[in-house]
Structure 1
Amino acid sequence: MYKVEIFDPAMCCSTGVCGPGVDPELTRVASAVYSLEKKGFNIKRYQLTTNPEKFAENDEITRIFKGKGPDALPVILVNDQVVKVGSYPTNEEFSEWFEVKAEELNEKPKARLSINLEQL
């Protein structure tokens, strides 16, 4: 079984739906990662802003980051080997690594809202 790690650039969120515009690439990747996590696959995503220790702990990520700077991100590791620098995996690559159909990678996370009407 494959282990996939995605090292994201600094950003406010991983979904692509924050800020003034929606980034469809981030939305696609977030959906794929969510779907794979729900199926129990070993996939992790680290952001430079929220998980800087993960970048510092990994010698290969540190080497790439020092050599190419933040424009090298995202960096994708499969089984601890760098397979992509500067772009996200396609759904076809995800499906190949995890042996699932690309159509299975489109599940959207459901947000739960909790509203206390007594405070209004």
Structure 2
Amino acid sequence: MKKMQIFEPAMCCSTGLCGVGVDPELLRISTVLNTLKNHGVHVDRFNLTNAPQEFVTNKTVNDFVREKGVEGLPVIVVDGEITITGRYPSNEEFMQLLDVPAHYIGSNTGDRKAETKKNKGCGCSGGDCCC
């Protein structure tokens, strides 16, 4: 099985799902990772606040941060190689990178941004947008 690691910028907690304004993209990532975990697929997730040593000990990521700075995060590493920088993988990319079937991700394989464009809205009910 392939090994994926996600190196994220500094966040208030390990998932970034704390506080008043939850980023829908971080919510999607947490949901995907939990669903994968329920199917026996483990993805390591490190953020600069909670796991700075991981950024130091991973030479590939350390070199990337030295060259591009933390502005280039998140960094997605699969089997020791950087595959995506500056954004999180879409659900389809998770399936491809980890070589897992669609049902491992869940019934909705599209990413949140694509859904928002398709629905022509932000998903807030009654027009009361929070973001």
Which TM-score applies when normalising by structure 1? 0.80
User: How many equivalent pairs are there?
Assistant: 106
Structure 1 Cα separation of the partners of residues 17 and 9 of structure 2: 16
Deviations 1:13-55 (A, max 9, x none): 3444322312000000011111111211131101111111111
Structure 1 Cα separation of the partners of residues 100 and 60 of structure 2: 26
Check whether the contact 2:13–2:50 (CA below 8 A) recurs between aligned residues.
no
User: Which structure 2 residue ranges, 5 or more long, are not aligned?
Assistant: 108-131
Compare 13-22 and 1-10 and name the one that shifted more.
13-22
The answer on 1:98 being equivalent to 2:99 is yes
Q: Identity rate of aligned residues, in percent?
A: 41
The answer on 1:72 being equivalent to 2:72 is yes
Check whether the contact 1:31–1:106 (CA below 8 A) recurs between aligned residues.
no
The answer on 1:63 being equivalent to 2:83 is no
Which residue in the other structure is 1:21 paired with? 21
User: Which structure 1 residue ranges, 5 or more long, are not aligned?
Assistant: 108-120
Structure 1 Cα separation of the partners of residues 49 and 23 of structure 2: 18
With a CA cutoff of 8 Å and minimum separation of 6, indicate the structure with the bigger relative contact order.
1
Check whether the contact 2:91–2:105 (CA below 8 A) recurs between aligned residues.
yes
Check whether the contact 2:7–2:46 (CA below 8 A) recurs between aligned residues.
yes
Which residue in the other structure is 1:2 paired with? 2
SS at match of 2:55: helix
Structure 2 Cα separation of the partners of residues 59 and 104 of structure 1: 30
SS at match of 1:7: strand
SS at match of 2:76: strand
Structure 2 Cα separation of the partners of residues 73 and 50 of structure 1: 15
RMSD over aligned Cα atoms = 1.8
Matches within 5 A, 1:45-56: 45-56=45-56
Structure 2 Cα separation of the partners of residues 49 and 14 of structure 1: 8
Check whether the contact 1:4–1:78 (CA below 8 A) recurs between aligned residues.
yes
